[in-house]
A and B are shown apart, each in its own frame.
Chain A
Amino acid sequence: MSKLGNLGARLHRGEISYDFIGHRKLWYGISILITITAIVGLAVRGLNMGIDFQGGAVFTTEKTSVSVSQAEEYAKSASGHDAVVQKLGNGTLRIQIAGMDIKQSNQIKDDLAADFKADPETITAELVGPSWGEQIASKAWQGLAIFMVLVVIYLAIAFEWRMAIAALVALIHDITITVGIYALVGFEVTPGTVIGLLTILGYSLYDTVVVFDSLKEQTKDLTKQTRFTYSEIANRSINGTLVRSINTTVVALLPVAGLLFIGGGFLGAGTLNDISLSLFVGLAAGAYSSIFIATPLVADLKEREPQIKALKKRVLAKRAQASAEEAPAPHRGDDIYGDEPEDAEAAVVGPRNQPASRGRGRGRPSGKRR
Chain B
Amino acid sequence: MAAPKKGRSASAQSKPGRSLVLILIAIVGLTAGMFASGHTTPRLGIDLAGGTSITLKAKSDQGSAINKANMDTAVEIMNRRVNGLGVSEAEVQTQGNDNIIVNIPKGTNSEKAREQVGTTAKLYFRPVLAQEATGSAAASPSASSSASPSGSSSASPSPSASASGTGEKATSSSSPSASATSQGRAVTDALKADSTPSASAGASSSASPSASASGGAAVTADDAALQAKYAALDCSKESVRASAGDGVKPADATVACGEIDKVWYKYLLGPAAVDGTEVDKAQAIFDTQGAAGWQVNMTFTKQGGKKFADITGKLAQNTQPQNEFGIVLDGNVVSSPYVSSSITGGQAQISGSFEQEEAQGLANMLSYGALPLSFEEQSVTTVTAALGGDQLHAGLLAGAIGLLLVVIYLVAYYRGLAMIALASLLVSAALTYVLMALLGPAIGFALNLPAVCGAIVAIGITADSFIVYFERVRDEIREGRTLRPAVERAWPRARRTILVSDFVSFLAAAVLFIVTVGKVQGFAFTLGLTTVLDVVVVFFFTKPLMTLIARRKFFASGHKWSGLDPKSLGAQPPLRRTRRPGGPAAGPVETKEA
Contact = CB atoms under 8 A, between A and B. Distances in A.
B522 to A, nearest CB: 9
B288 interface: no
Given A13-B478, A89-B383, A254-B402, A4 B461 contact: no
B96 A131 contact: no
A110 B16 CA distance: 69
Given A84-B386, A259-B402, A271-B387, A217 B493 contact: yes
Interface residues on A, range: 35 or more
Contacts of B383: 86-89, 94
A257 B459 CA distance: 13
Interface stretch (B165-173, B388-396, B544-552): B388-396
Interface residues on B, range: 35 or more
Contacts of A194: 520
Interface stretch (B87-95, B133-141, B350-358): B87-95
Interface stretch (B245-253, B268-276, B404-412, B437-445): B404-412
Interface string A115-158: 00000000000111101101110011011101100110011001
Interface in B52-101: 53, 68, 71-72, 75-76, 79, 91-96, 99, 101
A2 B561 CA distance: 11
Contacts of B475: 12, 240, 370
Contacts of A199: 453-454, 457, 523, 527
A30 interface: no
A248 B460 contact: yes
B377 interface: no
Given A251-B409, A252-B463, A258-B399, A88 B53 contact: yes
A15 B594 contact: yes
A114 to B, nearest CB: 24
Interface in A285-329: none
B463 A251 contact: yes
Given A6-B590, A128-B94, A251-B410, A135 B75 contact: yes
B519 A202 contact: no
Contacts of B92: 131
A248 B467 contact: yes
B384 A1 contact: no
Interface stretch (A21-29, A227-235, A275-283): A275-283
B504 A205 contact: yes
B384 A263 contact: no
Given A126-B96, A147-B511, A272 B394 contact: yes
A262 B459 contact: no
Interface string B31-51: 000000000000000010010
A183 interface: no
Contacts of A154: 503-504, 507
Interface stretch (A33-41, A73-81, A172-180, A357-365): A357-365
Interface in B483-530: 489, 493, 496-497, 500-505, 507-509, 511-512, 514-520, 523-524, 527
A198 B456 contact: no
- By secondary structure, the B interface counts as helix
A104 interface: no
A158 B502 CA distance: 13
B394 A263 contact: yes
A16 interface: yes
B228 interface: no
B50 A86 contact: yes
B391 A271 contact: yes
A89 B572 contact: no
B479 interface: yes
A68 B468 CA distance: 46
Contacts of B381: 88-90
B460 A252 contact: yes
A354 B3 contact: yes
A214 interface: yes
B53 A6 contact: no
Contacts of A100: none
A8 interface: yes
B395 A136 contact: no
A107 interface: no
Contact of A276 (B453, B463, B508, B575): B453
Contact of A258 (B47, B398, B503, B509): B398
B94 A129 contact: yes
B391 A267 contact: yes
A1 B561 CA distance: 10
Contacts of B384: 68, 86-88
Contacts of A49: none
B403 interface: yes
Nearest to B399: A255
A143 B515 contact: yes
B359 interface: no
A211 to B, nearest CB: 10
Contacts of A244: 467-468, 471
A192 B456 CA distance: 14
A247 to B, nearest CB: 5
B206 interface: no
Contacts of A192: 449-450, 453
Contacts of A368: 479, 572
Contacts of B518: 132, 135-136
A272 B394 CA distance: 8
Contacts of A131: 72, 75, 92-94
Interface stretch (B294-302, B322-330, B337-345, B563-571): B563-571
Contacts of B571: 9
Nearest to B53: A88
Contacts of A184: none
Nearest to B515: A143
A187 to B, nearest CB: 15
A262 B474 CA distance: 34
Interface string B466-483: 011001001100111000
Contacts of A15: 591, 593-594
Interface in A57-114: 58, 68-69, 84-90, 94
A154 B468 CA distance: 21
Interface string B408-435: 0110110100000000000000000000
A139 B80 CA distance: 13
B401 interface: yes
B590 A68 contact: no
A210 interface: yes
B347 to A, nearest CB: 27
A128 B55 CA distance: 12
Interface string A183-197: 000000001101110
B382 interface: yes
B478 A367 contact: yes
Contacts of B453: 192, 195-196, 199, 256, 259, 272, 275-276, 279
A183 B68 CA distance: 29
Given A9-B570, A252-B461, A365-B591, A1 B412 contact: yes
List the 8 closest pairs (A to B, CB-CB), nearest first.
A252-B460, A9-B570, A258-B402, A255-B402, A143-B515, A129-B94, A89-B382, A263-B398
Given A13-B591, A68-B388, A89-B381, 14 more contacts: A2-B568, A86-B385, A129-B68, A144-B512, A194-B520, A195-B453, A198-B527, A209-B501, A248-B463, A255-B398, A255-B399, A267-B391, A359-B572, A364-B572
19 contacts: A8-B471, A10-B593, A68-B384, A126-B99, A132-B519, A135-B517, A195-B451, A196-B450, A202-B505, A206-B461, A209-B504, A210-B468, A248-B460, A248-B463, A248-B464, A251-B406, A254-B406, A255-B403, A259-B453
Interface of A: 1-2, 4-6, 8-10, 12-13, 15-16, 52, 58, 68-69, 84-90, 94, 126-129, 131-132, 134-136, 139-140, 142-144, 146-147, 150-151, 154-155, 158, 191-192, 194-196, 198-199, 201-203, 205-207, 209-210, 213-214, 217, 240-241, 243-244, 247-248, 250-260, 262-263, 266-267, 270-272, 275-276, 279, 283, 340, 353-355, 358-359, 362, 364-365, 367-368, 370
